[in-house]
Amino acid sequence: MGLTLAQKIIRDHLLSGDMTPGQEIALRIDQTLTQDATGTMAYLEFEAIGIPRVRTELSVAYIDHNTLQSGFENADDHRYIQSVAKKHGIRFSRPGNGICHQVHLERFGKPGKTLIGSDSHTPTGGGIGMLAFGAGGMDVAVAMGGGAYYITMPRMIKVNLTGKLSPWVSAKDVSLELLRILSVKGGVGYIIEWGGEGVRTLSVPERATITNMGTELGATTSIFPSDDTTRAFLAAQGREEDYRPLAADPDAVYDRVIDIDLSTLEPLLACPHSPDNIRSATSLSGVKVDQVCIGSCTNSSLRDMLRVAAILKGKTIADSVSLSVSPGSKQVLSMLASCGALTDILASGARVLECACGPCIGMGFSPNSAGVSLRTFNRNFEGRSGTKDAQVYLVSPEIAAASALTGYITDPRTLGDYPDIVMPDAFRIDDSAVVLPAAEEEAASLEVLRGPNIKPLPDAHPVTDTVHGRLTLKVGDNITTDHIMPAGAKILPYRSNIPYLSKFCFAVCDEQFAERAKAAGDTILVGGSNYGQGSSREHAALVPLYLGVRAVVAKSFARIHVANLINAGILPLTFEDPADYDLLREGDDLSIEGVFEGLQTGRFLLMDRTTGKTIPLIGSFTDRQIAMLRAGGLLPYTKEAQE
């Protein structure tokens, strides 16, 4: 029986476990990346492990999320990351060099390699045929130290592409179409492999848009084959030697096959407040727009920016619209400048922002009150833009530019001819913003520069035989990490200061939560299905740990978040019967007894001491996870293993 492309890369990197879906497997990791908002924590953890030099083929530390430096906190964190990178063998991509996923694709990604990154959109690398995963900072720290990355062996979905995209329809619409079909939960437990003859019609940046948005499906990762298009992209980046042809075996077996005929797709939008709330541009045309943002790791490639420039050329945006354009990298920005496209963008009335995440993570450019914001980004969760009542729609660069011109949601096909763009044969290569690490002999004497914003990690709390706590918060389905631990300009500078961050925990759902949890001592949280979807931020586990959360009981969990909970030593359990969720009320006094035995059998009993009800729970853990929970998380576990 043949193998899928992902299975082949897994086989080549398998350190332990068997490749049966549902079993835990350990993978050798070739490359890692971090960004600043999760990086400080990841490097503090790496330092705590105590390995002097990274053992990966390549590790890169990017600064792209918080580049405002509105106080010393952020500048100190950047300096800390730069100094830690220099000492421990990590490349440092300076602020301004671009968004981690875009730069990594351009300069470092290699077909057939494994990559983990402390950012949930690391699967962007799948656009170039990498097997790339988003992970918590601790997992990245362990991988930098040469340790394995553990995942549950996923099932395989093949998306079989036929046909060719029509004018004005682009890769973003392919992603949105798959979100329409599968929903934000539909990819959980799967790797999504893109195949079929339609793949040939998509460039590498278009493929990367699609693998980037696979994260929104909850998928473990997404991947495209590596073919002549990949070779041409790498050659244009001056690194054809990194090319390797890769494809699934012709007789590979998939658990599910989804057919998409590219020629039938139309321009789509994801409506507030979920990436799977899909409607067509035609059906929404005429909705008044206040703000348009173009950029983010989803749609900030040269191809996207040239397209936007061509649509805006010679025109002016509507008076009532505020338009931002953030090119994904220094390479993209400098090429836009040299070909004149930047002038077309500026002349239209757009504000050109730095090559960084910017508005995507609420770092400025929040919409006006109840504003309608069209964004070429990947997430439109409530409050993420920085404005609580904003109506955020996710769109392609084509819809974004067309709507900025008219002031209303516009089906771009109504603009007439699709403007042609010419992609260059060679990209402008200038890696001067990537600072190289020190040589090994010099590294030992280098000092790591720490500022006062860096506070110690919360104390580990090994799981006890009886886990007792108050139900201080009960939340519904699809709770995102943006609910658990919001980001944005006011909070992001404190990513290395857990005590300060804790004030904002769950504030989107309930502003009193942090105070209540602290007063309660220990907490057991209750959630609905897909709890913890979205980002990889381990702060969504570490901050609850700090506030006394000892267990989370939910209908189901998102992949990266459940790993982060275990890494933090918090017990994640699910209801045996999801209907039992309704039996629990906020304020109840809960306890789970016989936890040690439960960890072995996979069965637990939740006692509601307030109502006297007992509720069966399940949780199946590997020996490694049990040891981690009993040690109080991945860090104490790794340290114990080293002793």
Q: Annotate 129-192 with DSSP letters as a single string.
A: T-EEEE--HHHHHHHHTT--EEEEPPEEEEEEEES-PPTT--HHHHHHHHHHHHTTTTTBTEEE
Site for ligand MIC in 481-510 (CB under 6 A): 487
Is residue 28 annotated as part of the catalytic site, yes or no? no
Is 535 a binding residue for ligand MIC by CB under 6 A? The answer is: yes
Q: Is 470 a catalytic residue?
A: no
Cis peptide before 273 (omega within 30 of 0): yes
Among residues 119 and 588, whose Cβ is nearest to ligand SF4?
119
With respect to ligand SF4, which residue has the nearer C-beta, 100 or 159? 100
For the question of residue 91 being annotated catalytic, the response is no
Q: Which does 99 bind (CB under 5 to 8 A by kind): ligand MIC, ligand SF4, none?
A: ligand SF4
Tokens representing 478 are 């699809």
CB 505 within 8 Å of CB 487: no
Within residues 43-72, the interface with ligand MIC by CB under 6 A covers 65
3-state SS, 554-618, equals ECCECHHHHHHHHHCCCEEEEECCHHHHHHCCCCCEEEEECHHHHHHHCEEEEEECCCCCEEEEE
409: tokens are: 């949601």
Report the DSSP pairing between strands 131-134 and 571-575. Answer: unpaired
379 is catalytic: yes
| DSSP secondary structure string for all residues of 299-344 | S-SHHHHHHHHHHHTT----TT-EEEE--SBHHHHHHHHHHTHHHH
Residue 119 binds ligand MIC, judged by CB under 6 A: yes
Q: Which does 537 bind (CB under 5 to 8 A by kind): ligand MIC, ligand SF4, none?
A: ligand MIC
Stretch that binds ligand MIC, among 41-49, 264-272, 337-345, 534-542 (CB under 6 A): 534-542
C-alpha distances in angstroms, 217 versus 245, 249, 254, 493, 559? 27, 25, 18, 29, 11
Q: Binding of ligand MIC at residue 209 (CB under 6 A)?
A: no
Helix ranges (H only) for 256-301 are 281-284
Chain residues 338-367 in contact with ligand MIC, contact rule CB under 6 A: 361
Catalytic residue among 65, 91, 207, 375: 65
Q: Strand 291-294 relative to strand 322-325: parallel, antiparallel, unpaired?
A: parallel
Q: Which is nearer to ligand SF4, 7 or 564 (CB)?
A: 564
Nearest-approach distance from CB 331 to ligand SF4, in angstroms: 16
Between 365 and 604, whose beta carbon lies closer to ligand MIC? Answer: 365
* DSSP code string of 175-201: HHHHHHHHTTTTTBTEEEEEESGGGGG
Tell me which residue has tokens 């390549």. Answer: 58
List interacting residues with ligand SF4 (CB under 6 A).
Answer: 65, 99, 119, 121, 296-297, 357, 360-361, 377-378
Q: Is 472 an interacting residue with respect to ligand MIC (CB under 6 A)?
A: no
Provide, rounded to whole angstroms, the least separation between the CB of residue 562 and ligand MIC: 15
Which among 115-123, 277-285, 364-372, 573-581 is the span making contact with ligand MIC, rule CB under 6 A?
115-123
To the query of whether residue 495 is one of the catalytic residues in this protein, the response is: no
Given a contact cutoff of 8 angstroms between Cβ atoms, the answer to whether 205 and 127 are in contact is yes
38 binds, among ligand MIC, ligand SF4, none (CB under 5 to 8 A by kind): ligand MIC
Nearer to ligand SF4, 106 or 119 (CB): 119
Of 158 and 379, CB closest to ligand SF4: 379
Nearer to ligand MIC, 123 or 225 (CB): 123
Question: Which of 234, 231, 232, 258 is CA-nearest to residue 245?
Answer: 231
Sign of CA dihedral 233, 235, 240, 246: positive
The sign of the dihedral angle between the CA atoms of 516, 517, 521, 523 is positive
**Should residue 38 be labelled a site residue for ligand MIC when binding is judged by CB under 6 A?**
yes
β-partners of residue 158 are: 193, 257
When CB distances to ligand MIC are compared, the closest residue is 535
CB of 469 to ligand SF4, least distance (A): 32
Q: Would residue 539 show up in a list of annotated catalytic residues for this protein?
A: no
Q: Of 119, 242, 482, 588, which one is the catalytic site residue?
A: 119
- Choosing from 207, 413, 537, 550, the catalytic residue is 537
| Binding residues vs ligand MIC (CB under 6 A) | 37-38, 65, 119-121, 134, 361, 487, 534-537
Active-site residue list: 64-65, 119, 379, 535, 537
